[in-house]
Structure 1
Amino acid sequence: MKNKAINKPKLHLTGKRNWINDPNGLIYYKEKYHMFYQHFPYAPQWGTMHWGHAISDDMVNWTYEPIALFPTKLYDRNGCFSGSAIEVNGDLYLYYTSVKYLDTPEDNITVPKDDVFEASQAMIISKDGFNFDNFNDKSLIIPAIEDKDLGHYTHTRDPKVWEYKDNYYIILGTKVKKDDNEKYTGKLLYYKSKDAKKWEYINSFELHGLGDMWECPDIFSVDGKYVLTLSPENYYTDGINPTNNAVFGIVDFEEETCNTKFKKDDFRVVDLGLDYYAPQSFIDKEGRRVQIGWIRMNKPFENHTWLGMMSLPRVVEVKNGQIITNVHPNISSLFTKEVDIDHIDLKNSICIKATLKNNSKINIGGYEISFENNTITGDRAKVCNQENVALKSSTKVLEDNCYIEVYIDYGVVEVYINNGQYVMSHIVNPLESKLEASNLSDFKVYTIN
């Protein structure tokens, strides 16, 4: 396994050490899976963004590569923010948001003063996916937006690129201020290119009330429907839940013109645990649409040097008009060795499969899953020292005899409900070796053989 040390997850990618956040540039390229990610390599805290890089044959075993992107230009001197990847004529094209701070605090030059900076869009080309000439192969493709009616000078970012017919397209997230609203309105910007190098603006869509700044937009077709994923800032303002959250919905979309239509009610959170953020999707070796998100942490576990991890890869489907996300078969197929509940070591990766009925309960080293009044609740209050997180998460009302698969890794629990109808992921303190369950049927526990 890629992370053999006992103080790291085995199946959830972390950095070697220090801070990571959004997955970037996910792609299956030249028979390898490439995962780039936002990375501050000098401390377990947010700072000047680089692109970390890992590769895999199977999305299970990951190998760290040298840092792929780092600041070298005036336009990206303070960070290479999130973006995506595409293959063009055998080369790997990476697109990212380039950042230049307008002012910096005297005591910490790695962050912008008052969160004000210039955001533009840039790219770099690699011939093999491993070598990146940050000094000679970068180019600025979309300058910072000056027109306030079009988008925001600072908060326009996260280019997701795709190919359709004979053209290439970029979707960007931004926000605008309307005269009749006190709050910002979220907005999408679309650009088009013949060669994936020179880009022109072609369309936009905005909607008030779905948070405001729409980070990490991703639009794709699956099972004959278009799915749009967004990570709106200020999605929740209740003072209880994290403010920024990943959402998705089925939308009306015309790919050639990028005409877009949707309503606020078309969307729901991607992951009920609300730790899952900034997901990005790509096509795997078998042609499945796969999504991976950042599972947020706001401080390291005690005596640990790394912060943040990636989710398990999830296959996205649309069934009966609903978006379904299930753990990727490369992960689920690992768990073939059935073990007795009394001989579980929660320091190892395990999978629980069970059918819940009302008043069912599972206690995983202090992390509690319950099914009461036809609602599943995940409760991490006893095993979480993270700040400003949702300690309890619940589904809507479900039918009785609810099937779940629970994947436990070091410091994280992912609960897949009714074959991907809902997912609930929670960062937890590394759990102790105790597992209890009551009032369940078809309860089985598996480890990796």
Structure 2
Amino acid sequence: MNKPKLHLTSERNWMNDPNGLIYYKGKYHAFYQHFPYATQWGTMHWGHAVSDDMVNWTYEPIALFPSKPYDKNGCFSGSAIEVDGDLYLYYTSVKYIETEEDNTTVPKDNIFESSQAMIISKDGFNFDNFNDKSLIIPPIMDEKLGHYTHTRDPKVWKYKDNYYMIVGSKVKKADQEEHTGKLLYYRSKDAKTWEYINSFELHGLGDMWECPDIFNVNDNNILVMSPENYYTDGTYPTNNAVIGIVDFEEESCNTKFDKDDFRLADLGLDYYAPQTFIDKDGRRVQFGWLRMNKHFENHTWLGMMSLPRVIEVKNKEITTNVHPNISSLFIKEINIDNVDFSNPTCIKATLKDNSKISIGGYEITFENNIITANRTKVFNEEYVNLKASTPKLEDECNIEVYIDYGVIETYINKGQYVISHIVNPLENKLQIDNLSDFKIYTI
């Protein structure tokens, strides 16, 4: 079966958000939103894969599946932590109020009951969905606090002697036509019993704030989240992941930021619902879901994870660069006539004015100090962003382009910006014009 070799997919059928990313007992664990019965969104389970290096993944049995009254229609996104050697998974438990008449896997009118739940595993491989789950935060009934349906995606961490949880939500003000995005914070002494402690809301940065993740890198507090309706001007997709440095006091969870503190996490707009964790060497690593509207012809899987990215902060600027476990694989240099895009390929180049690369029809250009990636010739789908451009850059820019089956990720100036695009399987044609230091590598 044709699949990406370096991008994690499900073994078969639907994949979306990364969940429960963790380095635990010598293994990297990647859980993910998964509908195991079709290549479309449906009743959510947690798929599970493990790896020694974030390069080679082994599929494990489904970790979470609906088994309780509160999660009978889905185990939505969440996170993982280690507590006294055990693996704690936190997730949003979903119960539909009604279903569509002809499809019980979909809620009618997108209305459902959301609560927060957890499950404990002794080893990270065995999950007793019947006996080891517990409901920890019931559905929110106070409209001033949060939303009954759209409160979800708990991310948990430990700080000093307490555990903390951030959850995304939204609220509706009487004087506003649109919802306001909101963060809710909870605290626990034992990682099992939780109390609400704080919140933050801001109007005008989309509305529902999915998959929030707050963490510290080099004394900078970084918030990543995925606001729904981030774009309302006709740009597709409307929901997008953003990243920014915020004011945050960890013990109280006092939070402050403005809309202008954020930028897109990935300019390609296929990248969504990213989550971070700490790798075995102490790096802050991020995976995101690369969205696909439909599967490639004659393929039985849909959706993939991005390459792992290391988040750093230099001079108050966030960079997200490809993880060294990936970049170090590309040591075999080849010439332009020997490209085979069915195998992972890395292109390294310096761009100057009027530089151009065509990768099987996928075009990267540098004009007027702006890099533009154009997939019109290789992925002409509806409701996607076919072109992506950077802000204005310096006179020369370094890029690393990672080509895997069905996807191209372009890292600009060591992660100053990233453009990731799903593409159709590519022809083995590579054309270049006006480039410096151009080299091609495979693994």
TM-score, normalised to structure 2's length? Answer: 1.00
Deviation at 1:67, TM superposition (A): 0.1
Map 1:132-143 to 2 at 5 A. 132-143=127-138
**2:212 is the alignment partner of 1:226:** no
Deviation at 1:401, TM superposition (A): 1.4
Q: Percent identity?
A: 79
**2:155 is the alignment partner of 1:168:** no
Map 1:266-345 to 2 at 5 A. 266-345=261-340
Structure 1 residue aligned with 2:21 = 26
Paired amino acid for 1:138: K
1:129-148 deviations in Å (ceiling 9; x for gaps): 00000000000000000000
**2:4 is the alignment partner of 1:17:** no
Partners in 2 of 1:46 and 1:411 — Cα distance? 20
Paired amino acid for 1:47: G
Secondary structure at the aligned position of 2:214 is classed as strand
Paired amino acid for 2:368: N
**2:185 is the alignment partner of 1:201:** no
1:150-209 deviations in Å (ceiling 9; x for gaps): 000000000000000000000000000011111000000000000000000000000000
Partners in 1 of 2:80 and 2:382 — Cα distance? 33
For the 8 Å contact 2:9–2:305, the answer to whether it is kept is yes
**2:60 is the alignment partner of 1:65:** yes
Paired amino acid for 1:275: D
Partners in 1 of 2:419 and 2:308 — Cα distance? 14
Partners in 2 of 1:375 and 1:17 — Cα distance? 38
1:21-59 deviations in Å (ceiling 9; x for gaps): 000000000000000000000000000000000000000
Q: Identify the range of structure 1 (382-391 vs 51-60) with the bigger mean alpha-carbon deviation.
A: 382-391
> For structure 2, which runs of at least 5 residues remain unmatched after alignment?
none
- Aligned match of 2:148 in 126, 150, 153? 153
1:37-92 deviations in Å (ceiling 9; x for gaps): 00000000000000000000000000000000000000000000000000000000
Deviation at 1:386, TM superposition (A): 3.1
Partners in 2 of 1:111 and 1:370 — Cα distance? 42
Partners in 2 of 1:142 and 1:43 — Cα distance? 31
- Aligned match of 1:408 in 403, 406, 424? 403
CA RMSD of aligned residues (A): 0.5
**2:242 is the alignment partner of 1:244:** no
Structure 1 residue aligned with 2:116 = 121
Partners in 2 of 1:41 and 1:56 — Cα distance? 21
Secondary structure at the aligned position of 1:342 is classed as helix
Partners in 1 of 2:314 and 2:47 — Cα distance? 35
- Aligned match of 1:363 in 348, 358, 364? 358
Secondary structure at the aligned position of 1:110 is classed as strand
How many pairs align? 443
Paired amino acid for 1:440: L
1:326-369 deviations in Å (ceiling 9; x for gaps): 00000000000000011101111000000000100000000000
- Aligned match of 1:255 in 250, 253, 267? 250
Partners in 2 of 1:105 and 1:252 — Cα distance? 43
Partners in 2 of 1:123 and 1:383 — Cα distance? 42
For the 8 Å contact 1:362–1:369, the answer to whether it is kept is yes
TM-score, normalised to structure 1's length? Answer: 0.98
Structure 2 residue aligned with 1:381 = 376
Deviation at 1:392, TM superposition (A): 0.3
For the 8 Å contact 1:119–1:157, the answer to whether it is kept is yes
Q: Identify the range of structure 1 (349-358 vs 380-389) with the bigger mean alpha-carbon deviation.
A: 380-389
For the 8 Å contact 1:374–1:398, the answer to whether it is kept is yes
Deviation at 1:105, TM superposition (A): 1.2
Deviation at 1:241, TM superposition (A): 2.5
Secondary structure at the aligned position of 1:265 is classed as helix
Paired amino acid for 2:129: N
Partners in 1 of 2:7 and 2:187 — Cα distance? 35
Partners in 2 of 1:248 and 1:359 — Cα distance? 30
For the 8 Å contact 1:297–1:386, the answer to whether it is kept is no
Secondary structure at the aligned position of 2:7 is classed as coil
For the 8 Å contact 2:287–2:306, the answer to whether it is kept is yes
Structure 1 residue aligned with 2:179 = 184
Deviation at 1:387, TM superposition (A): 2.5
Partners in 2 of 1:357 and 1:47 — Cα distance? 46
Runs of 4+ in 1 over 4 A off after TM superposition: none
Partners in 2 of 1:297 and 1:407 — Cα distance? 18
Map 1:74-93 to 2 at 5 A. 74-93=69-88
Deviation at 1:323, TM superposition (A): 0.6
Deviation at 1:240, TM superposition (A): 2.6
> For structure 1, which runs of at least 5 residues remain unmatched after alignment?
none
For the 8 Å contact 1:299–1:386, the answer to whether it is kept is no
